[in-house]
Homo-oligomer: A and B are copies of this chain.
Amino acid sequence: MAGQYRSGQYRFRTGDQALVRQINLAVIMHQLRENAPISRAALADITGLNKTTVSSLVRELIERQFVREVGFETPGGGRSAGRLAMMLTLDPEAGYIVSAEIGVDFLLVICTNFAPEVIWRCKENINPDMGQQVIFDRLLALLHQAVANGCKTCHTLLGVAVGVPGLVDQASGTLLFAPNLRWENVPLRPPLKEFIDAPLVVDNEANMAALGEHYFGAAQGYDDVLYISAGVGLGGGLVHGGRIYGGVSGFGAEFGHMTMDPEGELCNCGNRGCWETQVSQRALFRYLRRAVGQGRASLLIEMTEDNLGQLTVPIVVEAARAGDPLALEALDVLGRQLGIGVASLVNALNPQLVMFGGILSLAGKFLLPVVEQELRRRALRWNRDAAQVVLARHGFDACVMGGVARVFQAILAEPDTLRRETAWAMTTANA
């Protein structure tokens, strides 16, 4: 089956020559992404397509400016005789991609070429108290700067992605609920579409981050990936068979709102004892403040000049490195709660890779050994043996790199559907 869908006129997609061409274009694009520089002959070898078909597909991709010839192969590479082959790569200048994240306390926008290399990046701190309109205006200003920088070198805007810390209705591009921003029912697509004349994706930041690590980061080559991101809240993403697992309406992977302690702390979502109330910087700081409030000694008191309201994750990590017993204890407690949840998800989802990201991953050295302990104690042996636990690679950029991956994924799957003639435009009237 080429894929079953309900959205179109027909319940099942049928096959025809157009589908065959699209499938084979996509296969060539994927191989170029993974194995470039590569020759036409080598493409034929690793895809099983015949050389005439490969040549014809490559010609089309070169015409569409997604692929370029980069010179003849280096001689002596195992070939005993004959002409040297022309090597191909994806064309970094095929166009540019703009990807943004609305975090709980920051905005981050990047612009990449089609390599993808980051050609522009800007991060600004925000505060939910600034209000929705102010934050959104700042985002628009950053997006305009990104576009201005992108079109200097690449001309064509291939797509724009925006990641947000909450539930998204992807069809309408509405942010339904972001508990830690205290935003509800915010339509993001219409105001963005006023400025952006290119494919636009809005999705949950952790879903995007998971895909970003799968495409460009620590999860390359792993098709079943569990991504846990702990910062202000606890976000989750799941890649299954190389694609984001969204559930029926795209609200899946809200692992941070699994109930771990039915009578536990109140969560911003309204429930009690969510995993996020145990594993987040808020949970870490609460633990430390309570302990100090009860008279416990700690380096942290001095390091924050007796104002634990100034705690940050890097400060706690520094204290732990210096051997502060309270900081070590707090990270041990948090690591244990993290490990219990990860063990449950390893049993429930049987991932090949568990990736831990977000600001709390700065404490990975202290947390991961405890997570491994809980996995040994609680996960089924076979599920545990199948899963490797690693730190995410892209750190703060995981979500925005995931946005780039979303645009990539759409182009790789259907390189022939992008309307290049219109895709470049981004109105700058209100900039």
Which of A20-55 touch B at CB < 8 Å? 20-24, 26-27, 30-31, 34, 46-49
Residue of B nearest to A250 (CB): B350
Interface centre among A24, A241, A343, A348 (most CB of B within 10 A): A348
- A14: B residues at CB distance < 8 A: 23-24, 27, 47-49
Complex CA gap A66/B11 in Å reads 21
One of A71-79, A116-124, A380-388 contacting the partner: A380-388
The one of B259, B378, B383, B386 in contact with A343, judged by C-beta atoms closer than 8 angstroms, is B259
Interface centre among A21, A22, A242, A245 (most CB of B within 10 A): A245
The one of B30, B241, B382 in contact with A251, judged by C-beta atoms closer than 8 angstroms, is B382
Q: How many residues of A contact B (CB 8 A)?
A: 75
Residue of B nearest to A247 (CB): B350
One of A1-9, A191-199, A292-300 contacting the partner: A1-9
Q: Given A46-B11, A252-B348, A348-B252, check contact A382 B176 (CB 8 Å).
A: yes
> What's the least CB distance linking A322 to chain B, in Å?
30
Residue of B nearest to A167 (CB): B382
Q: Given A9-B48, A20-B19, check contact A223 B248 (CB 8 Å).
A: yes
> What's the least CB distance linking A270 to chain B, in Å?
8
Asked if A240 lies at the interface with its beta carbon under 8 angstroms from chain B, I say: yes
- A348: B residues at CB distance < 8 A: 236, 252-255, 258, 345, 348
- A382: B residues at CB distance < 8 A: 167, 176-177, 249, 251
The answer to whether B10 touches A15, judged by C-beta atoms less than 8 angstroms apart, is: no
Asked if A377 lies at the interface with its beta carbon under 8 angstroms from chain B, I say: yes
The answer to whether B177 touches A248, judged by C-beta atoms less than 8 angstroms apart, is: no
Copies of this protein, total: 2
Asked if A344 lies at the interface with its beta carbon under 8 angstroms from chain B, I say: yes
The one of B167, B247, B269, B350 in contact with A246, judged by C-beta atoms closer than 8 angstroms, is B350
The one of B12, B254, B413 in contact with A31, judged by C-beta atoms closer than 8 angstroms, is B12
Residue of B nearest to A4 (CB): B242
Complex CA gap A412/B48 in Å reads 26
The answer to whether B386 touches A248, judged by C-beta atoms less than 8 angstroms apart, is: yes
The one of B2, B12, B176, B240 in contact with A30, judged by C-beta atoms closer than 8 angstroms, is B12
Asked if A312 lies at the interface with its beta carbon under 8 angstroms from chain B, I say: no
Which of A338-363 touch B at CB < 8 Å? 340, 343-345, 347-352
Q: Given A16-B20, A19-B20, check contact A224 B248 (CB 8 Å).
A: yes
Asked if A262 lies at the interface with its beta carbon under 8 angstroms from chain B, I say: yes
The answer to whether B254 touches A347, judged by C-beta atoms less than 8 angstroms apart, is: yes
> What's the least CB distance linking A106 to chain B, in Å?
24
In the complex, 28 of the A-B residue pairs with CB atoms within 8 angstroms, ordered by the A residue number, are: A1-B2, A1-B27, A2-B2, A2-B3, A10-B47, A13-B27, A15-B19, A15-B23, A15-B24, A20-B20, A176-B382, A177-B381, A224-B247, A240-B240, A247-B351, A247-B386, A249-B350, A251-B380, A251-B383, A251-B386, A254-B350, A257-B380, A259-B378, A271-B377, A271-B378, A271-B379, A272-B378, A345-B348
Question: Known contacts A4-B241, A258-B345, A271-B377; can you find 5 more A-B pairs with CB under 8 A?
Answer: A2-B3, A4-B242, A247-B383, A254-B383, A258-B344
Which residues of A does B touch, CB under 8 Å?
Answer: 1-4, 6, 9-17, 19-24, 26-27, 30-31, 34, 46-49, 167, 176-177, 223-224, 236, 240-242, 245-255, 257-259, 262, 269, 271-272, 340, 343-345, 347-352, 377-383, 386, 413
